[in-house]
Amino acid sequence: MNDELKITSKFLKEIRLNLYRPHSFAYERVGFVYCKATKKEGGLVASTYEAIADQLYIEDKMVGAKFSGDAIFAAMKRSLKTKEGVFHIHIHEHKGEPHLSNVDIRSVLEISNSLSDVTPNVKHGCILLSEDCCKAYVLSGDKKSLQLIKTSVIKFPFSIFYPKGELL
């Protein structure tokens, strides 16, 4: 797979600051990163971030954050208009390589499938952050799983997360 997501460290820093804001009842914040395609074989550059509005969170003590379908609908509408890939983003608050939980996988699959229904020709998925790592996943071709892709953070020195799991 040639998919690769690039994101500048400055942009990532802004997103992190936004995600670290406390919410009145949700344990964590989430958002959507909109990505533009840069090459036919799956290059993506992160372009815009939209936080989920406070009022769209739903109280649910079983998960870190739950939000209403309105947020997903807005993302679908935007993707339909701009043909951007949409990536759900959240942070696991620890150092080292983060991993998607079963709840993460289930919910990202649902969201990505919804997005893929409206813009099937662009990649959708999620970006998972830890305190010092950034990984991106895309919806697989059969739409049943999430595939880890090469993730490049443009910074000094630049860091690349390869799908095999090694961080270079």
Partner 1 sequence: MKEKYIRQSFLGENSQEKIEQTEIAVIGFGGGGSHIGQQLLHIGFKKIKIFDADIVEDSNTHRLVGINYPDDVVNQEPKVEVAKRMAKSIQGEITIETYKTTWQENADVLKKCKIIVGCVDSYDQRDQLEVFCRRHGIIFVDIGMVVKSNEGESSQMSGQVILSLPGHLCMRCMGFITDENLNQDRSKYGDAGPQPQVIWANGVLASTAVGIVVNQVTGWAGNVAKPIYLSYNANAGELEVHPRLKYTKIQKCSHYVLELVGEPKFIDL
Give min distance, CB of 67 to partner 1, in A.
24
Q: At 71, is the secondary structure helix, strand, or coil?
A: helix
Shortest spacing between CB 145 and partner 1, in angstroms: 25
d(CA 148, CA 146): 7
Cβ nearer to partner 1, comparing 41 with 59: 41
Of 10 and 94, which CB lies nearer to partner 1 in the complex structure? 10
> 167: which DSSP letter?
B
Point out which residues bind partner 1 (CB under 8 A).
4, 6-11, 35-40, 43, 45-48, 152, 154-158, 160, 168
Choose between 46 and 75: whose C-beta lies nearer to partner 1: 46
- Which C-beta is closer to partner 1: that of 13 or that of 106? 13
Q: Shortest approach of partner 1 to residue 4 CB, angstroms?
A: 8
CB atoms within 10 A of CB 32: 26
Take residue 128 and report the two structure tokens written for it. 């998972």
H helix runs in the chain, sequence order: 9-19, 69-82, 102-118
Q: How far is the CB of 38 from partner 1 (least distance, A)?
A: 5
Nearer to partner 1, 11 or 51 (CB): 11
Residues 6+ apart with CB under 8 A from 150: 3, 4, 5, 160, 161, 162, 163
Which H helix or E strand runs over 43? strand 43-51
φ, ψ dihedrals at 48, nearest 5°: -140, 150
Nearest approach, Cβ of residue 120 and partner 1 (Å): 18
Structure tokens at 123: 């990649």
